[in-house]
Chains A and B, each alone.
Chain A
Amino acid sequence: MTTKVYERPASLIDKTTHYCGGCGHGTAHKLVAEAIDHFGIRDRTVGVAPAGCSVLMYEYLDVDTAESAHGRALAVATGLKRANPDLIVFTYQGDGDLASIGLCETIHAANRGEKVVVIFINNAVYGMTGGQMAPTTLIGQRTTTTPAGRSVVNEGGPLNMAEMIAPLNGVTYCERVALFDAKHVRKARKAIFKAFEIQLNGGGFAIVEILSACVTNLKMTPLAAQEWVADAMVKQFPLGVFKDETAQGDGDAV
Chain B
Amino acid sequence: MAERTGNKQLVKGNVALAEGAVQAGCKCYFGYPITPQNAVPEYLSWRLPEVGGTFLQAESEVASINMVLGAALTGARVMTSSSSPGISLMQEGISFLAGDQLPAVIVNMQRCGPGLGGIQPTQGDYFQATRGGGHGDYRTLVLAPANVQELFDFTYLAFDLADKYRNPILVLGDAILGQMKEPAILEPDHPREEPDKSGWTLTGAKDGRPLRNIRSMFLGEGVQEQLNYTLREKYDRMERDEVRYDQRWCDDADCAIIAFGTAARIAISAIHEARDEGIRVGLFRPQTLYPFPFDAIRSLSERVKRLLVLELNTGQMVEDVRAAVGDRAAVGFHGRPAGGLPSVTEVLAKIEEL
Residues of B within 8 A of A84 (CB): 74, 76, 203
Q: A67 and B63 in contact (CB under 8 A), knowing A45-B204, A87-B204?
A: no
Interface segment among A71-79, A151-159, A221-229: the answer is A71-79
Given contacts A45-B204, A46-B204, A78-B70, 19 further A-B contacts (CB under 8 A): A43-B205, A48-B70, A62-B211, A64-B211, A65-B202, A66-B215, A67-B215, A67-B217, A76-B66, A78-B63, A79-B68, A79-B70, A79-B71, A79-B78, A80-B202, A83-B28, A84-B76, A108-B58, A108-B63
Kindly list the 10 A-B residue pairs having the minimum CB-CB distance in the complex, ordered from nearest: A79-B70, A75-B66, A67-B215, A44-B204, A83-B71, A58-B213, A79-B67, A76-B70, A72-B66, A79-B71
A233 to B93, CA, bound (A): 34
B180 close to A (CB within 8 Å): no
* B70 touches which of A41, A55, A56, A80 (Cβ 8 Å): A80
Residues of A within 8 A of B73 (CB): 46, 66, 76, 79-80, 83
Interface size band for B: 35 or more
Mark contacts of B154-182 with chain A using CB atoms, 8 A cut-off: 1 yes-contact digit, 0 otherwise: 00000000000000000000000000000
Q: Is there an interface contact between B66 and A79, defined as CB atoms closer than 8 Å?
A: yes
Residues of A within 8 A of B35 (CB): none
Residues of A within 8 A of B54 (CB): 82-83
Closest to B92 in A: A69
Mark contacts of A70-109 with chain B using CB atoms, 8 A cut-off: 1 yes-contact digit, 0 otherwise: 0010011111111110011000000000000000110010
Question: DSSP majority for the B interface?
Answer: mixed
Residues of A within 8 A of B206 (CB): 43
A62 to B212, CA, bound (A): 9
B42 close to A (CB within 8 Å): no
Q: Is there an interface contact between B215 and A104, defined as CB atoms closer than 8 Å?
A: no
Q: A69 and B66 in contact (CB under 8 A), knowing A43-B207, A46-B202, A83-B76?
A: yes
Mark contacts of B257-292 with chain A using CB atoms, 8 A cut-off: 1 yes-contact digit, 0 otherwise: 000000000000000000000000000000000000
A75 to B228, CA, bound (A): 26
Q: Is there an interface contact between A65 and B67, defined as CB atoms closer than 8 Å?
A: no
Mark contacts of B207-220 with chain A using CB atoms, 8 A cut-off: 1 yes-contact digit, 0 otherwise: 11001111111010
Mark contacts of A40-63 with chain B using CB atoms, 8 A cut-off: 1 yes-contact digit, 0 otherwise: 011111101000000110100111
Residues of B within 8 A of A61 (CB): 211
B239 close to A (CB within 8 Å): no
Q: Is there an interface contact between B93 and A83, defined as CB atoms closer than 8 Å?
A: no
Closest to A82 in B: B54
Q: Is there an interface contact between B69 and A76, defined as CB atoms closer than 8 Å?
A: yes
The tally of residues in A whose CB lies under 8 Å from a CB in B reads 35
A63 to B67, CA, bound (A): 20
Residues of B within 8 A of A44 (CB): 203-204
Residues of A within 8 A of B187 (CB): none
Closest to A108 in B: B59
Closest to A67 in B: B215
B143 close to A (CB within 8 Å): no
Q: Is there an interface contact between A64 and B30, defined as CB atoms closer than 8 Å?
A: no
Residues of A within 8 A of B219 (CB): 56
B27 close to A (CB within 8 Å): yes
B51 close to A (CB within 8 Å): no
Q: A82 and B71 in contact (CB under 8 A), knowing A43-B207, A63-B211?
A: yes
Closest to B65 in A: A75
B96 close to A (CB within 8 Å): yes
A44 to B58, CA, bound (A): 25
